[in-house]
């Protein structure tokens, strides 16, 4: 007997960011798995079991949800934002790759969500209007040297960049190191957007030139967008300035 596993993106916070397909999957699921704060965002429903787990046990969480689905149940795994962006969809597929043959028969439906960088970009203007990349600054799953190399090469290649997992208590100075590297490669006027808890009541948006960007301006709920050499600011009297990257690259 093989059931269904929905891997559902909840968007950045506000229920209005949840796509209808995600709402349908959550309504059908008999059990919800995920990191505690994300499980809490799913409105409780009678008859639906909730399995909240710690942030660091992603593969185990994926295995538990797959084992449950394999018994014939309809199970949802929830992630903030999009489940395929630094989140649970890859952990689930990794668990299927390593797991028993029967897990390959589970109906797997990955439901996309609005990822943090898109929510932050929309608040700021259109900083991702031309080529861009996304980099997790967490060195839990890759060496810090790899991150430094990617930052430098992405800046040289002319990408705007979105940073996920910008800081943690365990590595307070790395974001300042990242900005120092970017200052070697980019003009000091390049806009840096700090979007914190976008889509939640404590949302905050701040824009600083690269020269003044500092690690303490971000926490783990912040997604940072660093512009490319083309990214500009359009001032509007009495209204928030617009940060945008023109669609045409002049500096080819």
Decide if residue 127 touches ligand SAH (CB under 6 A). no
Shortest distance (Å) from residue 34 CB to ligand SAH: 11
Footprint on residues 8-67 left by ligand SAH (CB under 6 A): 12-13
- Residue 15: both structure tokens together: 């229920």
Q: H-helix or E-strand containing 26?
A: helix 20-28
Shortest distance (Å) from residue 71 CB to ligand SAH: 27
- Residues 129 and 160: their CA atoms lie apart, in Å, by 9
Decide if residue 220 touches ligand SAH (CB under 6 A). yes
Please check whether residue 215 is in contact with residue 139, taking contact to mean a CB–CB distance below 8 angstroms.
no
Decide if residue 146 touches ligand SAH (CB under 6 A). no
In the list 18, 66, 73, 87, the residue contacting ligand SAH (rule: CB under 6 A) is 87
Decide if residue 195 touches ligand SAH (CB under 6 A). yes
Q: Which is nearer to ligand SAH, 79 or 174 (CB)?
A: 79
Decide if residue 93 touches ligand SAH (CB under 6 A). no
Segments in 77-141 forming alpha helices (H) = 88-98, 116-124
Q: Concatenate the DSSP letters of all residues of 182-235 into one string.
A: HHHHS-TT-EEEEEESTTSTT-EEEEEEGGG--GGG--TTEEEEE--TT-EEEE
Decide if residue 230 touches ligand SAH (CB under 6 A). no
Binding site for ligand SAH (CB under 6 A): 12-13, 79-82, 85-87, 115-116, 120, 164-166, 195-200, 220-223
């Amino acid at each position: 007997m093989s059931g269904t596993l929905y891997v559902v993106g909840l968007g950045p916070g506000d229920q209005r960011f949840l796509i209808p397909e995600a709402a349908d999957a959550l309504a059908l699921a008999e059990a919800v798995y995920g990191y505690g704060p994300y499980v809490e965002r799913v409105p409780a429903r009678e008859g639906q079991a909730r399995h909240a787990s710690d942030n660091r046990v992603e593969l185990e969480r994926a295995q538990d949800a797959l084992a449950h689905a394999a018994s014939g149940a309809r199970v949802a795994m929830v992630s903030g934002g999009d489940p395929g962006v630094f989140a649970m969809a890859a952990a689930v597929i990794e668990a299927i790759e390593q797991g028993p043959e029967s897990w390959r028969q589970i109906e797997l439906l990955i439901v996309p969500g609005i990822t943090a960088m898109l929510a932050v970009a929309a608040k700021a203007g259109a900083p991702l209007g031309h080529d861009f990349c996304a980099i997790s600054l967490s060195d839990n799953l890759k060496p810090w040297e790899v991150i430094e190399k990617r930052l430098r090469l992405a800046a040289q290649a002319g990408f705007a960049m979105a940073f996920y997992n910008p800081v943690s208590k365990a590595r307070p100075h790395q974001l300042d190191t990242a900005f120092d590297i970017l200052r070697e490669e980019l003009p000091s006027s390049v806009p840096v957007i700090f979007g914190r808890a976008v889509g939640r009541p404590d949302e905050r948006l701040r824009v600083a030139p690269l020269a003044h960007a500092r690690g303490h301006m971000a926490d783990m709920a912040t997604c940072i967008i660093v512009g490319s050499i083309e990214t500009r600011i359009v001032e509007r009297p009495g209204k928030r300035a617009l940060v945008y990257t023109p669609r045409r690259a002049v500096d080819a």
